[in-house]
Structure 1
Amino acid sequence: MTAASPLAPNPVAVRLGYAGLIPFVGGALLVWLVREYPEQHAFVTDALAKYAALVVAFLGALHWGLGLKQSVPSPAPFAWAVVPVLLAWIGALMPPYAGLVVLGVLLVVCYAVDRRAYRSHGLASWLTLRFRATVIASLSCFVAAALS
């Protein structure tokens, strides 16, 4: 796929995608730095869990958009689109030490679903960014959970 292709990752979108990892990495780092301060630790782990839940919801919403562009509508992308947000909501309601594990797993599951869906929609060129972001975001969640 050439750089001129509308399906190739836009350089601005790639930079913003990587910038979206700052709260994950910064949150995990802060969880470690404030581990001796219970009040701040609780705030930071909760903030990271809520950010992770928002990202998981966003990843599900992308499938709603993919469903809208289908010429012959299938219910599958719409059904999948609501699964991540519902599960992320549960993860956000859990204590952060457990919810972060759920959210980290959801990030990996969303990537697995996206690998198949992106290829079928001609968006495979986005998978490198998705893989890297998934690894960093999910590891940040798992590390923060372990430190909680």
Structure 2
Amino acid sequence: MNDHPATHTLPDHHHAEPDELARKLAYAGLIPFVGGALFIWLLVGRVEDEPFMFVVRAITSYAALIVAFLGGIPWGLMMWRSTWHMEAPPHYRRALWTGVIYSLAAWLALLMPPHAGLVVLGVLLIACYLSDRKRYPELGVSGWLTLRFRLTCVSSLSCFLAAAQI
């Protein structure tokens, strides 16, 4: 039996779903979104500008980090694929470009006034999900899409609600 990676096919993970730890950590990752939006709604006009803007910057920068993280997922999957010594088809290469574009767009959103940047980040979170609906099956991880949908709904809504109060 030859154990060289090039002779193996990729494992089929199309229906694999996140395990309990992944789900718990993913939902915990919503705390800064929900907490930030809630604090902005509760604190607007009630505290000085400096602590208020700290909360605004916190949720905005966290949203940008998450968009960059989501853009990096295809990169990680491609690195894993490369350990199997398989040539990447064109749609995989497009996934890499998309990841870079999301990171750059998130960075630009950080440079915008927060009320506009949060809207852009909310849209980017939705765009990441819509892109991943196509890419995850291609990359063999479509079982994660239900979790991604739930996280996207809460995170993007948090960005939009926070932006509406600034």
TM-score normalised over the length of structure 2: 0.82
Counterparts of 2:77 and 2:31 in 1: how far apart (Å)?
27
Does residue 1:45 correspond to 2:60, yes or no?
no
Aligned mates of 1:110, 1:8 — CA distance in 2: 19
In the alignment, structure 1 residue 72 sits paired with structure 2 residue 87: yes
Between Structure 1 and Structure 2, how many residues are aligned? 144
C-alpha deviation, 1:124, in angstroms: 1.5
Check whether the contact 1:34–1:40 (CA below 8 A) recurs between aligned residues. no
RCO greater where, 1 or 2, for CA within 8 Å and sep 6 or more? 2
In the alignment, the residues of structure 2 paired with residue 146 and residue 81 of structure 1 have an alpha-carbon distance, to the nearest angstrom, of 28
User: Could you tell me which residue of structure 1 aligns to residue 28 of structure 2?
Assistant: 19
Q: Please point out which of 103, 111, 115 is paired with 1:97.
A: 115
The CA distance in 2 between the partners of 1:137 and 1:11, in whole Å, is 20
Once the 2 structures are TM-superposed, how far is the Cα of residue 40 of structure 1 from its aligned partner? 1.9
What residue in structure 2 maps to residue 57 of structure 1? 68
User: Quick one: percent identity of the two aligned structures?
Assistant: 51
Larger Rg: 2
- Which residue pairs with 1:129 in the alignment? 147
Whether 1:34 aligns to 2:43 is: yes
Tell me the alpha carbon deviations over residues 83-125 of structure 1, each in whole angstroms, 9 at most, x when there is no partner: 1110000011111111000000000000001111111223111
TM-score scaled by structure 1? 0.91
What are the ranges of 5 or more consecutive residues in structure 2 without an aligned counterpart? 1-12
Q: Does 1:114 align with 2:132?
A: yes
- How far off is 1:8 after superposition? 2.4
Q: Specify every segment of 5 or more residues in structure 1 that has no aligned partner in the other structure, as ranges.
A: none
Q: Which runs of 4+ in 1 moved over 6 A?
A: none
